[in-house]
Structure 1
Amino acid sequence: MRHSPELISARWRRSSYSNANGGECVEIAEDFPGAVPVRDSKNPHGPVVVVPVGAWDAFVNALKA
């Protein structure tokens, strides 16, 4: 998904685990019921992957385990 009207006004939040030197940075947009938009912060105008909330939760929990 690229630059849909909903994502243009999205508030992006960078992962607290992202590299502070501008490296591997992942951002997510919140306030999208049922979905989690994810993008590379180094390419804010690039593609966005939209993941169902359940899949995102499973991914995050697997990383924590």
Structure 2
Amino acid sequence: MSVVEGTWKKSSYSNQKGGNCVEVAATSEHGAAVRDSKRRDAGRLEMPSAEWAAFLHAVKSAEL
């Protein structure tokens, strides 16, 4: 998968004081990629859309 350039979005829960910061981007295969906004060069985790949807569901329902 490859990230669609210019699509990285920082979490609204991230703060400007150096707290836990996460960015998410769409991929060209309709999936998602996640990275640490403070260490962008450290790599990213990419997943297909079905896995991203399952992850979001688990987070929203407090399963994670």
State if a TM-score over 0.5 links the two structures.
yes
Structure 2 counterpart of 1:27: 23
Structure 1 counterpart of 2:5: 9
**Alpha-carbon displacement from aligned partner over 1:8-51 (angstroms, at most 9, x marks no partner):** 83421011122342211110112533321110000112211111
- Asked if structure 2 preserves the Cα contact closer than 8 Å seen for 1:28 and 1:37, the reply is yes
Number of residues of Structure 1 aligned to a counterpart in Structure 2: 61
Structure 1 consecutive aligned stretches of length 4 or more whose deviation exceeds 6 Å: none
The unaligned stretches of length 5 or more in structure 2 are none
- Asked if structure 1 preserves the Cα contact closer than 8 Å seen for 2:29 and 2:48, the reply is no
Quote the Cα distance in structure 1 between the aligned partners of 2:16 and 2:44.
Answer: 21
Matched-pair identity in %: 39
TM-align CA RMSD: 2.3
Superposition pairs of residues 31-50 of structure 1, within 5 angstroms: 32-50=28-46
Is 1:56 the counterpart of 2:47? The answer is no
When normalised by structure 1's length, the TM-score is: 0.72
